Amino acid sequence: MESAAQPTCFLIADISGYTAYLAGVELDHANDILSDLLGVIVSALRPNFRLSRIEGDAAFMFATVEKIDGSMLLDTVESCYLGFRRRRRDVRQATTCECNACIRIPDLDLKFVVHHGPTLQQTIAGRQELLGFDAIVVHRLLKNEVVNRLGMDAYALFSQKCIDASDIDPAALGMSPHLETYDGVGDVPAWAHDLERRWQEEEERSRVRVTPEDSILTITIPTKVPPQVAWEFLTKPGQRMTWQPWVTQVTIKGARGGRRGLGSANHCMHGEDAVVEEILDWRPYDYVTDRTILESPDGLIKVLHTIELEPTVEGTKIEFRFAAPETEREQEAMTVIGPAYGAALESTIPTLVAQLEEAMAAREAERGPEPAVPGRSAPADG
């Protein structure tokens, strides 16, 4: 029985510079390094994307979705790139090997091409394949003039069809318009997102985080889902009302280009009362910190609040942490509000955990078996 075409977001993460890198390096170490980096890339893109196959030095991923959550897409791509850069740096610093393959690890970089369109999923020769015109287009996009025309060595190239299926404004987010033309395909308008610039911004940006030592109220929730799934439930406005029954409405203000994150604010309605959460630090999929502004009989209270996600063997440990307010008046008010809010938050834990597990089970059922992924072991010394 022939399957019907489904709307799909295609993503290819390609390790750039690998062909030149192979010239004159030790192939056994080069293969270890490639396998390690590909493992990092695929792990970072899952489970939001499913692996179709490894194509040499690239991972071809996809997600069956009609509408794309632009914020989650950018969080996923940027988190993957930042993880790649950290892994590349850490492996080079950790190894004592002075072979060319290890010395030249910094020559490798990463680029993404992302497209959207219908595709057929069919099993051919025992392997599941994505068939259709748009599956071809995303591969054509790998051969582009972004480096020559825009001077970006590390980038994510989003086709206009991908942007149209999302809810973000690429110009407002600082992306550069770009056009590619291919034989048999025609013009493919797109937007280029500079990932080297994002790396520099993240390296220079100061961190705002409530540490365990600074927290006066800590709620810990062990889960069996990966950080990506937990992050979506904790940061996507529509999810909040499903596990926090006192939240009746959530709106976002100040989201540049439609993207949630640093500089935006959540306005959470609790009946007729409003709680404002000003985002001060946004590190997918590690933590998010906001300044929560609460109303009390004695006036407004401002509390620094961090939600941190720590990967575990079974899944993710979620930790809510609240710092002490700055003024004496706010600290006194918090002694009353804090325990009540903590008790309310703890009461939602079973609902949150159940919803997370249901969401993960649904994704696994839809994803099905995937191709094998290279290991993540670091290159051997010697």
The amino acid that residue 295 corresponds to is E
Q: What's the whole-number mean pLDDT along residues 252-277?
A: 83
Q: What pLDDT sits at residue 92? A: 65
Q: What are phi and psi of 151, to 5 degrees?
A: 70, 25
- Name which of 66-75, 231-240, 342-351 the model is least confident about: 231-240
Rounded to two decimals, the pTM is 0.88
Of residues 164 and 300, more confidence is placed in 164
* Rounded alpha-carbon distances, angstroms, from residue 150 to 138, 168, 187, 238, 295: 19, 21, 18, 37, 49
Q: What pLDDT sits at residue 293? A: 86
pLDDT at 126 over 70: no
**Which tens digits make up the pLDDT trace of 51-110?**
999 998 999 999 999 999 999 999 999 999 999 999 888 876 766 667 777 777 888 899
Q: Calculate ∠ Cα 232-8-67, nearest 5°.
A: 50
The amino acid that residue 30 corresponds to is A
Provide the token pair at 144.
Answer: 């582009």
- Which residues, including other chains, have CB under 8 Å from residue 110's CB and lie 6 or more apart? 13, 14, 15, 16, 41, 80, 81, 84, 85, 154, 195
What percentage of the chain has pLDDT greater than the value 70?
Answer: 91
The amino acid that residue 149 corresponds to is R
- Most confident among 160-164, 335-339, 370-374 (mean pLDDT): 160-164
| All structural domains of the chain | 6-203 (3.30.70.1230), 206-364 (3.30.530.20)
Q: Which residue has the tokens 């040499």?
A: 56
Other CB atoms within a 10 A radius of the CB of residue 122 amount to 12
Q: What pLDDT sits at residue 90? A: 81
Encode 166-180: b = buried (16+ Cβ within 10 Å), e = exposed.
bebbbeeeebbebeb
* Rounded alpha-carbon distances, angstroms, from residue 87 to 94, 101, 105: 10, 15, 10
Q: What's the whole-number mean pLDDT along residues 285-313?
A: 88
pLDDT at 378 over 50: no
Other CB atoms within a 10 A radius of the CB of residue 130 amount to 19
Please tell me the distance from the alpha carbon of residue 198 to that of residue 141, in angstroms, as a whole number.
22
Distance from CA of residue 112 to its chain's centroid? 13
Nearest to 144 by CA among 94, 100, 189: 189
Task: State the pLDDT confidence band at 116, using cuts at 50, 70 and 90.
Answer: very high
Phi-psi region of 186 (alpha: psi -120 to 50; beta: other; left: phi over 0): left
Is residue 189 within 8 Å of residue 160, measured between CB atoms? Answer: yes
* Rounded alpha-carbon distances, angstroms, from residue 135 to 7, 103, 130, 181: 11, 36, 7, 16
Q: What pLDDT sits at residue 26? A: 67
- Name which of 14-28, 247-261, 279-293, 361-375 the model is least confident about: 361-375
The amino acid that residue 327 corresponds to is T
Other CB atoms within a 10 A radius of the CB of residue 151 amount to 11
Task: State the pLDDT confidence band at 297, using cuts at 50, 70 and 90.
Answer: low
Please tell me the distance from the alpha carbon of residue 201 to that of residue 9, in angstroms, as a whole number.
27
Which residues on neighbouring strands pair with residue 222, listed in sequence order? 317
